[in-house]
Amino acid sequence: MAATEKEIVDGLAEIVNEIAGIPVEDVQLDKSFTDDLDVDSLSMVEVVVAAEERFDVKIPDDDVKNLKTVGDATKYILEHQA
Amino acid sequence: MNSTNNTVVVTGIGATTPLGGDAASTWEGLLAGRSGVSLLEQDWAADLPVRIAGQIAVEPSEIIPRPQARKLDRSAQFALIAAEEAWKDAGFTGKAGEDGNAVEPDRLGAVIASGIGGVTTLLDQYDVLKEKGVRRVSPHTVPMLMPNSPAANVGIALGARAGVHTPVSACASGAEAIGYAVEMIRTGRADIVVAGGTEAAVHPLPIAAFGNMMAMSKNNDDPQGASRPWDVDRNGFVLGEGAGVIVLESEEHAKARGARIYAEAVGQGISADAHHITQPEPSGNGIAQALLNLVHNTGLKPAEIAHINAHATSTPQGDIGEIKALRQAFGDDVDHMAVASTKSMTGHLLGGAGGIETVATVLALYHRTAPPTINIENLDPEVDADIIRSEPRALPEGTIAALNDSFGFGGHNVVLAFRTV
């Protein structure tokens, strides 16, 4: 069953918390991974791989650069999940 | 303008070792003659011929926050812990040039070595590749496994921009790092350099490999008695893990800021055996040449040397070759040198050895007390030197010097000298 927007944000919050140590409540749709959440380019790859597993979605490397915010990622996952 | 022959001093020390999570607890363990070696109770050790090691006393996970730790190989975690301690011990907080820290970043260097680098990261990620596939291999793998990672991470943490280096010479790496750092200050490239060695190789592959070389003690029934340098029954080294880091500083810079000075870093003597990739040159000629080079380079007089923290790893050949070399280089002066191998207590930290043993050597001068060598029940009759056994030894008054010997596979010989101030 496809995840809802809320489930995706909550899931991304857990992933970002695991990888960057940011409190889950700080992971909001408007937050930038790099500027607000301490996720550098290498850690972003980890976020993407974890999100792929969790939401059963493929995120090609060329698309990763467009995922600047939690909102960008959430929208991408909503549109591409199996 | 800096002159090109600055006097160099030690103003900070830090360590995390099998004996303790900092330099003070490590020193206390050394003076007490305590062994940091224990049985490897991990599942992966069950089938290994060697099931003992000097495992770290305080796990880095207790100190470094997890999000930071997961991007650092264990060797870099040890180095950061020891470097931060040394930095604070030298009287500094935070990053050079930031938030009231007056150190000029362009005058601060970092030289941290490791013999094997991020070997556990490499092997763990290979397991991930095989078991979980390409996509799951961590994007942090390369910056974690590269041998310069500990130096680079320390350099970033402290804001060192005068140069960050990682000499690699197996078990001489840590000493070579400190020697390189002394030269950076002596020749005016930096005012302060944070330097040392780290190693984290307690993993089945390195243990299997060293074990198959017949280089390690297999005294699994007596872990604490297994590392026994110069004892007739010594049968190989015991692997240890951890890091030792010191803050080196030009005397001028240290005095200008009123820093506590532990000792003068006199300099180094380096040579190579050009003999065999793993076996030490049996006559000790290569090591003797390093000792003679030290005297030649620094003007240190053998008569000044009161203590030697020896390389002696508890191998049949190596322990004797080192003693022969001391005699060959220093003759009768060896008689007034109190010689110890702290590896009897910490195990052999490979590239970390020069780091923690420099910490021990500097503290021995500062406290005028040299640590003992434990586990010598029957001293090998070939050992023609004054070995400190069982109890610590008071060192003489007046100006005295101490050496730290480190030798590595490949025939690398590095001797560092320190002197009381």
How does residue B3 score in pLDDT terms, banded at 50, 70 and 90? low
∠ CA B87-B91-B93, rounded to 5°: 65
Residue B147 predicted with pLDDT over 70: yes
B135 reaches A (C-beta below 8 A): yes
| pLDDT tens digit sequence for B335-391 | 999 999 999 999 999 999 999 999 999 999 999 999 999 999 999 999 999 999 989
| pLDDT tens digit sequence for B227-254 | 999 999 999 999 999 999 999 999 999 9
B196 and B251 co-located in one domain: yes
B255 and B322 co-located in one domain: no
B224 and B371 co-located in one domain: no
B17 in a structural domain: yes
Count of domains observed in chain B:
2
Percentage of the residues of chain B whose pLDDT score is greater than 70: 99
- On whether the CB atoms of residues B310 and B175 are closer than 8 A, the answer is no
Q: Which residues of A touch B144 (CB under 8 A)?
A: none
B142 and B289 co-located in one domain: no
CB nearest to B138's CB, from A38, A46, A52: A46
Give the per-residue pLDDT at B162. Answer: 98
- On whether the CB atoms of residues B248 and B185 are closer than 8 A, the answer is yes
Residue B73 structure tokens = 């190989």
pLDDT average, residue stretch B259-267: 98
Q: Which residues of A touch B143 (CB under 8 A)?
A: 42
Give the per-residue pLDDT at B303. Answer: 97
Question: Would residue B171 show up in a list of annotated catalytic residues for this protein?
Answer: yes
Q: Which residues of B touch A64 (CB under 8 A)?
A: none
* Count of beta carbons in the 10 Å neighbourhood of residue B339: 25
B16 and B134 co-located in one domain: yes
Residue B332 structure tokens = 């009768």
- Which residue type is seen at B336? H
Q: Count residue pairs from A and B with Cβ separation < 8 A.
A: 22
Tell me which of A2-6, A10-14, B324-328 is least confident: A2-6
- On whether the CB atoms of residues B240 and B53 are closer than 8 A, the answer is yes
CA-based nearest distance B313→chain A, Å: 40
B1 in a structural domain: no
- Minimal Cα distance from B134: which residue of A? A49
Name the H helices within B133-249: 141-145, 149-158, 173-186, 204-212
What does the mean pLDDT of chain B come to? Answer: 97
B127 and B218 co-located in one domain: yes
B2 in a structural domain: no
CA-based nearest distance B318→chain A, Å: 44
Give the per-residue pLDDT at B294. Answer: 98
**Of B239, B263, B287, the domain-final residue:** B263
Q: What whole-number distance in Å separates Cα of residue B208 and Cα of residue A42?
A: 33
Which of the residues B82, B171, B323, B387 is marked catalytic?
A: B171
- Minimal Cα distance from A60: which residue of B? B135
Q: What CATH number did the domain enclosing B184 receive? A: 3.40.47.10
Q: What whole-number distance in Å separates Cα of residue B318 and Cα of residue B305?
A: 22
Give the per-residue pLDDT at A2. Answer: 86
| pLDDT tens digit sequence for B169-178 | 999 999 999 9
Give the per-residue pLDDT at B29. Answer: 98
**Of B215, B248, B263, the domain-final residue:** B263
Whether residues B135 and A49 touch (CB distance < 8 A) is answered with yes
Reported ipTM: the value is 0.90
B299 in a structural domain: yes
CA-based nearest distance A9→chain B, Å: 20
What is the domain range of residue B291?
A: 266-420
Whether residues B136 and A49 touch (CB distance < 8 A) is answered with yes
Whether residues B71 and A46 touch (CB distance < 8 A) is answered with no
| pLDDT tens digit sequence for B50-89 | 999 999 999 999 999 999 999 999 999 999 999 999 999 9
Residue A77 predicted with pLDDT over 90: yes
Residue A1 predicted with pLDDT over 90: no
Residue B102 structure tokens = 């007056």
B272 and B252 co-located in one domain: no
* Topology classification of domain A5-80: 1.10.1200
B256 and B278 co-located in one domain: no
- On whether the CB atoms of residues B339 and B386 are closer than 8 A, the answer is yes
Domains of chain A: which residue ranges?
5-80
